[in-house]
């Protein structure tokens, strides 16, 4: 395929050069005719030049649809040879200075055609040139020359041109051979370089670590596939951008720091953590050209570390609650009974009765807290069965709407369900408790009224339920610890409601996480495996009425399996 492309380029070049030479010759001859007396037939000469122009135009048209470039080259060379002979005859034959066009045609033949063709064209040029001279000499055609040489002089001219044409054919063949050899070597070198470039590009694109290169000005010049995946942006959006603007933290310095951890907000509003290593991009003989940044995604590692810490805290809290709850409840019962008896003494003053009422209320509140501790720490029994989530959501939201209307809180509850049923394998009462706790948390966050929107939609293998409120929102630090016990952001709260949600979702092998920003509300997202997905993976399940399971204290965390550390 490559030689064909070269021949086409050479043919296009030949047409351009031909037109240029014709224009130059036409101008020169017209100038000579105007300035000096000559026997040149101007009208015949102009007709020949016009015919040559027309033939050149036909060659251009022929190249657009005829792919036999070798045959076209031969046809153009032969045509040029005939046209040169006509022009030489019309400009004086042996007196013509345009016989220099013959060597040009021979050189072109040596370039475009095989070497034997250069000798054939040289021989044909000799025959045509000799025929023009001899026919004019013997009067068989009209001569336009200013002189009439002798026969020997004419023969000398013809044979000198024979040797000149053959020498030019030989040199043109040698030149064309060298040119073709150089072209082949160049093509081989270009192919090897292209293969090497493709190999290097494939290596860069196949590296699992993200790779970003920048110039000295810090603008991105290259980004591989892994970096595009990590940053969740295509190369078109990254190239030319300052690399520092992609991250929330300062990048390491090539001179003083080898690596550091930085955070980045992706296009999906999830925050990721990367370990970034930087090195100077030095090129021999050119010096420092920029910097190379290598990225490793540590988001999952840091999430697992947070979950391990949370698991340790949950286990410690569970053990602590189980150990002290009973020890506190017994004396607390005695205190409450004693206070109740004291409140029945008739001669107590109003102040004393008021103090006893305070002790009673606080005892009741302390007893409620202990009850929550016990509920959180005690191993829960679950009855897993095929359950539709929509009735559970509707019941919970109906209770919330009635409560909001009764208390006149200014909070509206909206529901938008993308499906008519959502079957899961779950304990319906426990899942309803999850819905209620999250809804209660959202209501308490909207002190001045607002809207709670609840959505449910399917994903690939799960149902996704979202509770979005318009409350005050949370900081990233609060969002990260929202499911830990005793992390309540509300006055009077124990911080166990969302911890219980986390615990129940963990038992259901579900996921729960929160997205929030201060002043922009909070969205809690739950994901539970769809019942048909459970059957697809052939999970072992006992009959609904018989299945119970106690939550082990060391069960693996699934509540924030993929999104626990993300902040929207």
Indicate whether 197 belongs to any domain: no
HEC sequence for 165-198: HHHHHHHHHHHHHHHHHHHHHHHHHHHHHHHHHH
> What is the mean pLDDT, run by run of 10 residues, along the chain of 568 residues?
53 73 76 70 80 80 75 81 83 76 80 80 84 81 75 79 80 77 78 76 80 88 87 86 87 75 77 86 82 87 78 71 69 76 74 78 75 65 89 90 86 89 90 91 88 90 91 83 72 70 87 86 91 56 37 34 36
Cβ-contact 360, 338 below 8 angstroms: no
Res 489: pLDDT? 65
- Token pair 């999250």 is found at 438
HEC sequence for 340-368: HHHHCCCCCCHHHHHHHHHHHHHHHHHHH
Torsions phi, psi for 490 (to 5 deg): -115, 145
Contacts of 419 (CB under 8 A, 6+ apart): 390, 456, 457, 458
Indicate whether 194 belongs to any domain: no
Contacts of 567 (CB under 8 A, 6+ apart): 270, 271, 476, 479, 480, 515, 516, 517
358 & 334 share domain: yes
Total residue count of the chain as it appears in this document:
568
- Measured CA to CA, the distance from residue 534 to residue 423 in angstroms comes to 10
- Measured CA to CA, the distance from residue 315 to residue 94 in angstroms comes to 113
48 & 181 share domain: yes
158 & 275 share domain: no
Res 261: pLDDT? 86
**Upper half-sphere CA count for residue 305 (Cβ side, 13 Å):** 6
Where among 327, 357, 377 does a domain terminate? 377
Indicate whether 395 belongs to any domain: yes
Question: Which residue, among 310, 303, 300, has the nearest Cα to 506 in the 3D structure?
Answer: 310
Range of the domain at 505: 381-550
267 & 323 share domain: no
SS3 category, 235: helix
Token digits for 138? 């013997």
Token digits for 176? 């064309």
226 & 180 share domain: no
CATH classification of the domain holding 517 = 3.30.565.10
Q: Is the dihedral of CA 419, 421, 427, 432 positive or negative?
A: positive
Neighbours of 516 (CB within 10 A): 23
Indicate whether 471 belongs to any domain: yes
Q: Which residues of 294-318 are buried (b: 16+ CB within 10 A; e: fewer)?
A: bbbbbbeebbeebbeebbebbeebb
Indicate whether 310 belongs to any domain: yes
Domain count, the chain: 4
Alpha helices in 207-298 (DSSP H): 225-231, 235-238
- Measured CA to CA, the distance from residue 104 to residue 119 in angstroms comes to 13
Indicate whether 198 belongs to any domain: no
105 & 19 share domain: yes
Res 466: pLDDT? 93
Contacts of 499 (CB under 8 A, 6+ apart): 314, 376, 483, 484, 485, 487
Indicate whether 224 belongs to any domain: yes
CATH classification of the domain holding 221 = 3.30.450.20
142 & 56 share domain: yes
316 & 440 share domain: no
516 & 496 share domain: yes
Where among 277, 297, 317 does a domain terminate? 297
Where among 135, 162, 189 does a domain terminate? 189
- Report strand pairing: 259-265 vs 271-283: antiparallel
Question: Which residue, among 221, 226, 237, 228, has the nearest Cα to 281 in the 3D structure?
Answer: 221
pTM: 0.46
Indicate whether 195 belongs to any domain: no
Q: Which residues of 531-555 are buried (b: 16+ CB within 10 A; e: fewer)?
A: bebbeeeeeeeeeeeeeebebeeee
Radius of gyration of the chain (CA): 47
176 & 58 share domain: yes
373 & 420 share domain: no
* DSSP class per residue in 203-264: HHHH-SSEEEEEETTSBEEEE-HHHHHHHT--HHHHTTSBGGGG-SSPPPPTTT-SEEEEEE
291 & 327 share domain: no
């Amino acid at each position: 395929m490559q030689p064909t492309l070269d021949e086409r380029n050479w043919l296009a070049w030949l047409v351009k050069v031909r037109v240029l030479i014709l224009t130059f010759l036409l101008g020169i001859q017209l100038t000579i005719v105007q300035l000096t007396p000559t026997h040149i037939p101007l009208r015949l000469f102009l007709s020949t030049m016009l015919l040559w122009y027309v033939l050149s135009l036909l060659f251009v048209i022929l190249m657009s649809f005829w792919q036999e470039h070798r045959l076209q080259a031969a046809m153009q060379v032969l045509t040029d040879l005939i046209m040169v002979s006509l022009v030489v005859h019309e400009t004086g034959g042996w007196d013509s200075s345009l016989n220099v066009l013959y060597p040009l045609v021979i050189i072109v033949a040596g370039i475009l055609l095989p070497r034997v063709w250069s000798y054939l064209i040289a021989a044909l040029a000799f025959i045509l040139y000799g025929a023009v001279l001899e026919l004019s000499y013997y009067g068989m055609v009209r001569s336009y020359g200013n002189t009439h040489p002798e026969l020997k002089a004419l023969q000398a001219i013809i044979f000198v041109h024979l040797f000149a044409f053959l020498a030019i054919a030989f040199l043109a063949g040698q030149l064309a051979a060298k040119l073709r050899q150089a072209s082949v070597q160049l093509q081989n070198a270009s192919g090897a370089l292209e293969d090497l470039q493709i190999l290097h590009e494939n290596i860069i694109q196949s590296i699992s670590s993200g790779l970003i290169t920048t110039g000295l000005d810090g603008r991105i010049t290259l980004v591989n596939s892994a970096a595009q995946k990590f940053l969740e942006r295509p190369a078109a959006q990254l190239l030319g951008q300052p690399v520092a603007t992609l991250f929330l933290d300062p990048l390491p310095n090539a001179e003083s720091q080898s690596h550091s951890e930085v955070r980045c907000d992706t296009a999906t509003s999830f925050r990721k953590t990367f370990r970034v290593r930087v090195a100077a991009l030095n090129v021999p003989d050119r010096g420092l050209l920029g910097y190379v940044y290598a990225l490793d995604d540590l988001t999952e590692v840091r999430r697992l570390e947070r979950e391990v810490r949370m698991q340790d805290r949950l286990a410690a809290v569970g053990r602590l609650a189980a150990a002290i709850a009973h020890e506190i409840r017994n004396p607390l019962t005695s205190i409450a009974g004693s206070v109740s008896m004291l409140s029945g003494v008739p001669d107590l003053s109003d102040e004393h009765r008021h103090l006893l009422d305070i002790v009673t209320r606080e005892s009741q509140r302390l007893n409620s807290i202990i009850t929550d501790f016990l509920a959180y720490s005690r191993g829960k029994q679950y009855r897993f069965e095929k359950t539709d989530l929509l009735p559970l959501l509707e019941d919970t939201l109906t209770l919330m709407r009635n409560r909001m209307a009764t208390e006149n809180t200014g909070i509206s509850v909206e529901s938008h369900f993308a499906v008519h049923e959502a079957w899961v394998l779950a304990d319906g009462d426990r899942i309803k408790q999850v819905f209620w706790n999250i809804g209660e948390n959202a209501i308490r966050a909207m002190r001045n009224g607002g809207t709670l929107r609840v959505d449910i939609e399917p994903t690939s293998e799960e149902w996704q339920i979202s509770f979005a409120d318009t409350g005050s929102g949370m900081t990233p630090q609060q969002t990260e610890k929202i499911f830990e016990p005793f992390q309540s952001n509300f006055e009077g709260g124990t911080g166990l409601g969302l911890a219980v949600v986390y615990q129940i979702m963990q038992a259901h092998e579900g996921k729960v996480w929160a997205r929030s920003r201060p002043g922009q509300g909070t969205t809690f997202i739950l994901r539970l495996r769809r019942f048909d997905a459970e059957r697809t993976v052939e999970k072992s399940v006992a009959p609904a009425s018989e299945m119970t399971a106690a939550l082990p204290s060391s069960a693996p965390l699934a509540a924030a399996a993929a999104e626990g550390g993300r902040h929207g």
